[in-house]
Amino acid sequence: MIKKEPGRIYKWLLWITNNEDNPRHEVEFDIGFFLVNTICFIIGIGVFIIIKEYAWIAVLVIEYNWALDNMRHNR
Protein backbone atom coordinates (compact mmCIF):
# COMPACT_ATOMS: atom_id res chain seq x y z
CA MET A 1 0.00 0.00 0.00
CA ILE A 2 1.34 3.43 -0.95
CA LYS A 3 1.39 6.00 1.86
CA LYS A 4 0.38 9.45 0.64
CA GLU A 5 2.61 12.33 1.68
CA PRO A 6 0.78 15.21 3.44
CA GLY A 7 0.22 18.29 1.31
CA ARG A 8 1.92 21.65 1.71
CA ILE A 9 -1.08 23.27 3.39
CA TYR A 10 -1.38 20.42 5.91
CA LYS A 11 2.34 20.65 6.70
CA TRP A 12 2.00 24.41 7.22
CA LEU A 13 -1.00 23.87 9.52
CA LEU A 14 1.02 21.34 11.53
CA TRP A 15 3.86 23.84 11.82
CA ILE A 16 1.60 26.75 12.86
CA THR A 17 -0.23 24.70 15.52
CA ASN A 18 2.67 22.78 17.10
CA ASN A 19 6.21 23.56 18.18
CA GLU A 20 7.35 19.98 18.76
CA ASP A 21 8.42 17.18 16.41
CA ASN A 22 6.13 14.72 18.19
CA PRO A 23 2.84 16.38 19.28
CA ARG A 24 1.46 15.51 22.72
CA HIS A 25 -2.19 16.11 21.77
CA GLU A 26 -4.73 15.83 18.97
CA VAL A 27 -3.34 17.42 15.82
CA GLU A 28 -6.69 17.51 14.02
CA PHE A 29 -8.30 19.34 16.95
CA ASP A 30 -5.56 21.99 16.88
CA ILE A 31 -5.92 22.49 13.14
CA GLY A 32 -9.69 22.85 13.53
CA PHE A 33 -9.24 25.24 16.46
CA PHE A 34 -6.83 27.35 14.43
CA LEU A 35 -9.18 27.54 11.45
CA VAL A 36 -12.29 28.37 13.51
CA ASN A 37 -10.38 30.88 15.62
CA THR A 38 -8.97 32.60 12.52
CA ILE A 39 -12.39 32.80 10.83
CA CYS A 40 -13.92 34.29 14.01
CA PHE A 41 -11.02 36.72 14.27
CA ILE A 42 -11.60 38.00 10.73
CA ILE A 43 -15.38 38.22 11.22
CA GLY A 44 -14.86 39.99 14.56
CA ILE A 45 -12.64 42.63 12.98
CA GLY A 46 -15.28 43.16 10.30
CA VAL A 47 -18.03 43.57 12.90
CA PHE A 48 -15.99 46.09 14.90
CA ILE A 49 -15.33 48.09 11.72
CA ILE A 50 -19.01 48.04 10.76
CA ILE A 51 -20.17 49.24 14.18
CA LYS A 52 -17.27 51.74 14.36
CA GLU A 53 -15.80 50.34 17.60
CA TYR A 54 -12.20 50.45 16.40
CA ALA A 55 -10.67 50.38 19.89
CA TRP A 56 -11.91 46.80 20.44
CA ILE A 57 -9.89 45.51 17.48
CA ALA A 58 -6.73 45.72 19.60
CA VAL A 59 -8.35 43.56 22.30
CA LEU A 60 -9.40 41.03 19.67
CA VAL A 61 -5.85 40.88 18.28
CA ILE A 62 -4.40 40.34 21.76
CA GLU A 63 -6.88 37.55 22.54
CA TYR A 64 -6.26 35.87 19.16
CA ASN A 65 -2.49 35.90 19.68
CA TRP A 66 -2.87 34.61 23.24
CA ALA A 67 -4.99 31.68 22.02
CA LEU A 68 -2.50 30.78 19.29
CA ASP A 69 0.41 31.03 21.68
CA ASN A 70 -1.30 28.70 24.18
CA MET A 71 -2.10 26.20 21.44
CA ARG A 72 1.40 26.29 19.96
CA HIS A 73 3.05 25.74 23.33
CA ASN A 74 0.95 22.69 24.04
CA ARG A 75 -1.38 24.34 26.52
pLDDT digits (tens, 9 = 90+) for 22-52: 776 788 888 888 899 999 999 999 999 999 9
- Domain boundaries, given as residue ranges, for the chain: 26-75
pLDDT at 11: 82
Listing DSSP states for the chain in one string gives -PPPPPPHHHHHHHHHH-SSSS-SS-HHHHHHHHHHHHHHHHHHHHHHHHTT-THHHHHHHHHHHHHHHHHHTT-
pLDDT surpasses 60 at 1: no
The pLDDT confidence band at residue 2, using thresholds 50, 70 and 90, is low
